[in-house]
Amino acid sequence: MKGYSWRYVQLAMSALSVVIVGQFLFVDEPLRWLLANQKHEEGTRLVRKAGKKNGIKSDTIASAIARYFSQDGNMSKINHTDKELKAEEKSTNTEPSVSVENTSTAQTKVTALALVKHLKLRRVTLVMLLAWFTNSLTYYGLYMVSSVMSGNRYLNLFLSSVAEVPASLLVFPIILKCGRRPVLIALHLLAGLSLITAAILNATTGGYTGYIALTCVIVVGKVGISGTYSVIFMYTPEVYPTNIRAFGLGAASVSSRIGGILAPFAATVARELPWAPVAVFGGLCLLVALACPLLPETKGRDLPQTLVDLEKLFLPEKNLKHNPNVVLRNITAMKY
């Protein structure tokens, strides 16, 4: 590839993304999202389509969906029985129709403004914006700083890359046992304390011994920040309700991109003040660790589908088990 301009390489790699456009013709919206946003006609069509492709009666699938969502008391029921569907199919010679109707309080249509207007959503969003920004800035910033650290730049980059291996292998078994929030806090504390230590060592020590100590703590910090990336990709969709999950994840992604844009400047700063970038990274990681307790724990909990479900997510699970009729703040009447 040495004989080609980087522009042609970039163009060729970007052209591969064109195939994604064709997915709009074949990929359906998730049924859970359709029902959560009161798109019952599209949900009905999807139920019929799934039943037809799998050779299962439409009313059987639709009834199962109705029973599932009726557990929350805010979803739907199926009107047509199997006999009615057969009669309709014989009389019209078309595929049977299954109607999904809302049988309780209508859900308020939620917009992106709910991220800042709703108290719990605003809290979740602010913490997630900070966490995604910090993770991206620190993760990519450490790669940039590794090339200007003292010692062999190739060895520094290699060790920085190898640090991701234990983070990738150990994080998922741990979060399945300990939960998302505690692991996220612990990994941010690990990264923050390690990087703050690295900044102090960089400013106060020198020589071969100082270089070894500095490299070790930075590698430990890289393990921590790599682990948080794995956790936060799983954790973020779990704390947003279905009908606003895309907005929340999109806002977090934008925050992450801003951190990625700023990361290359870490190398420039490190040439003048070698201790400064890792000090900033460490401070931000500690700040995220202090903010994470504001988030709910999602281990063993159902994905929130509505804002009411999000309110329940903030309640201790034992309260819901012992008092299933726990009174929540009525947010269905709020306008967004």
What pLDDT, in 10s, does the model give residues 225-267? Answer: 999 988 999 899 999 988 788 889 999 999 999 999 999 998 8
Residues 239, 295 contacting (CB under 8 angstroms): yes
Across 133-155, average pLDDT: 81
Domain ranges in the chain are 11-102, 114-313
> Does the pLDDT at position 160 exceed 60?
yes
Residues 76-103: what's their mean pLDDT? 41
Give the DSSP letter string of 111-141.
-TTHHHHSHHHHHHHHHHHHHHHHHHHHHHH
Average pLDDT over residues 198-221: 80
pLDDT, position 236: 92
Looking at every residue in the chain, the average pLDDT score rounds to 76
| Assigned CATH class of 114-313 | mainly alpha
Residue 18 carries which DSSP code? Answer: G
The model carries a pTM of 0.70
Let me know: does 287 contact 281? Beta carbons within 8 Å.
no
The three-class DSSP label of residue 76 is strand
Residues 231 and 186: beta-carbon distance below 8 Å: no
Residue 173 has pLDDT above 80, yes or no: yes
CA 285 to chain centre: 18
Q: What is the mean pLDDT of residues 161-168?
A: 83
Q: For residue 243, give both structure tokens.
A: 């009908």
Name the pLDDT band for 320 (thresholds 50, 70, 90): low
215 pLDDT band, cuts 50/70/90, is: confident
CB–CB of 232/135 below 8 Å? yes
CB 189 within 8 Å of CB 289? yes
CA angle 155, 147, 142 (to 5 degrees): 95
Query: What is residue 312's predicted lDDT score, i.e. its pLDDT?
Result: 84
Q: Find the helix or strand (DSSP H, E) in which 229 lies.
A: helix 207-238
Which value, in Å, is the radius of gyration of the alpha carbons in the chain?
25
Under 8 Å CB-to-CB from 267, ≥6 apart: which residues?
144, 145, 147, 148, 277
51-67 pLDDT per residue, tens: 778 777 666 766 766 66
List the beta strands (DSSP E) in the chain. 76-78, 100-102
77-85 long-range Cβ contacts below 8 angstroms, 24+ apart: 77/101, 77/103, 82/57, 85/57, 85/58, 85/59
- Distance (Å, rounded) from C-alpha 138 to C-alpha 27? 35
Lowest mean pLDDT among 54-58, 85-89, 204-208, 292-296: 85-89
